[in-house]
């Protein structure tokens, strides 16, 4: 990693914080179209470390019912990539955490990959997670443009990912690696099993160059702490979506939830 000259907030974060990094995912435009910035500000003030903004899609094949549902509601609310960029245009006036956009490839390709990456840099996005972008396609088609606009690219690995493949992913990743804790869609599991811990340990022993965040199945202080033992931190998605779905006071509910996870 180019640790000297970078201004990228993801790099900066992992240079100073190696453990208990908490990343929070939410779907842009959910529960209400205009909640995006409010949610981001609350995640920051509550003490989380990375904000993952989900770009809603009609066919999110790696997501379980909770996130699917939030995607559909966001789309029904009128959310689109263009609208999202408008909402995020001035985010850097109020949000200083690293921001990662997470979304499926098709809406981004329709926007235009280069235009998308350029816009991301302009508004201060630091990285991307595109679950249906395979490594080979990334290398063949998109790596150059991601690099040009200083965007970190995060790949997922699962318990089925071979050691050889993990090494390749580590070589071609920057930012961090997203460890799917069970071979599962989002929101499908709760708690962490012995088997998963064996997998975390196996990957930990590989001494990868990239930091590792553990996702899928993290919902509270206990699971966060367990995951943080074996990685540099964890990602909460579905559990967070459930918390904000019924919220009457986003700022206060988000702050109390995140603080309950961290402490």
Partner 1 sequence: MIKIDEKGFYGKFGGAYIPEMLHPNIEELRENYEQIMATPEFQKEFRGLLKDFVGRPTPLYFASRLSEKYGAKIYLKREDLCHTGAHKVNNTVGQIIMAKKLGKKRIIAETGAGQHGVATATVCALMGMDCTIYMGAVDIQRQRPNVERMKILGAKVVPATSGSQTLKDATNEAMRQWINNPVDTHYIIGSVVGPHPYPEMVARFQSVISEEIKWQLKEKEGTENPDIIIACVGGGSNAAGAFFHYYNVPQVRLVAAEAAGLGVTSGKSAATTVLGTSGILHGSKTLLMQTEDGQVVEPHSISAGLDYPGIGPVHAHLFDIGRAEFVAVEDEDAMKAGIELSRTEGIIPAIETAHAIHALNLIEYSKDDIIVINLSGRGDKDLDTYIKWGGY
Residue ranges binding partner 1 (CB under 8 A): 57-65, 68-69, 72, 75, 80-82, 104-111, 131-137, 155-158, 160-162, 165, 169, 180, 183-185, 188
CA-based nearest residue to 128, from 103, 107, 157, 91: 103
The one catalytic residue in 35, 63, 69, 170 is: 63
Alpha helices (runs of H) in 124-162, residue ranges in sequence order: 135-137, 143-148
The one catalytic residue in 11, 35, 52, 126 is: 52
Instruction: Verify whether residue 170 is a known catalytic residue.
Output: no
CA-based nearest residue to 26, from 93, 73, 78: 73
Q: Do 175 and 138 touch, CB atoms closer than 8 A?
A: no
Residue 44 or 69: the one with the smaller Cβ distance to partner 1 is 69
Residue 183 or 251: the one with the smaller Cβ distance to partner 1 is 183
User: Least separation, in Å, of the C-beta of 135 and partner 1?
Assistant: 8
Segment (H or E) for 102: strand 99-103
User: Least separation, in Å, of the C-beta of 164 and partner 1?
Assistant: 11
DSSP-based three-state secondary structure for 175: coil
Residue 2 or 162: the one with the smaller Cβ distance to partner 1 is 162
Q: Residue 262 is encoded by which pair of tokens?
A: 């961290």
User: Least separation, in Å, of the C-beta of 95 and partner 1?
Assistant: 24
Active site residues: 52, 63
């Amino acid at each position: 990693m180019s640790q000297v000259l970078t201004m990228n907030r993801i790099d900066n974060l992992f240079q100073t914080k190696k453990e208990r990094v908490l990343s929070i995912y939410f779907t842009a435009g959910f529960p209400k179209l205009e909640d995006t910035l409010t949610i981001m500000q609350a995640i920051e003030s509550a003490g989380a470390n990375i904000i993952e903004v989900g770009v809603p899609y009609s066919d999110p094949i790696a997501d379980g019912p909770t996130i699917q549902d939030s995607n559909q509601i966001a789309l029904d609310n009128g959310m689109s990539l263009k609208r999202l960029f408008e909402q995020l245009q001035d985010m850097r006036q109020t949000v200083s955490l690293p921001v990662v956009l997470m979304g499926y490839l098709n809406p981004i390709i329709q926007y235009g990959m280069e235009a998308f990456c350029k816009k991301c840099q302009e508004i201060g996005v630091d990285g991307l997670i595109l679950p249906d972008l395979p490594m080979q396609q990334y290398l063949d088609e998109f790596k150059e443009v991601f690099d040009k606009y200083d965007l970190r690219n995060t790949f997922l690995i699962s318990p089925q990912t071979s050691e050889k493949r993990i090494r390749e992913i580590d070589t071609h990743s920057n930012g961090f690696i997203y460890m799917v804790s069970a071979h599962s869609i989002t929101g499908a599991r709760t708690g962490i099993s012995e088997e998963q811990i064996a997998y975390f340990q196996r990957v930990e022993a590989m001494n990868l160059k990239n930091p590792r965040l553990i996702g899928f199945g993290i919902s509270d202080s206990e699971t966060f702490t367990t995951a943080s033992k074996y990685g540099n931190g964890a990602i909460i998605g579905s559990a967070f979506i459930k918390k904000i779905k019924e919220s009457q006071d986003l700022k206060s509910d988000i702050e109390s939830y995140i603080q309950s996870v961290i402490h």
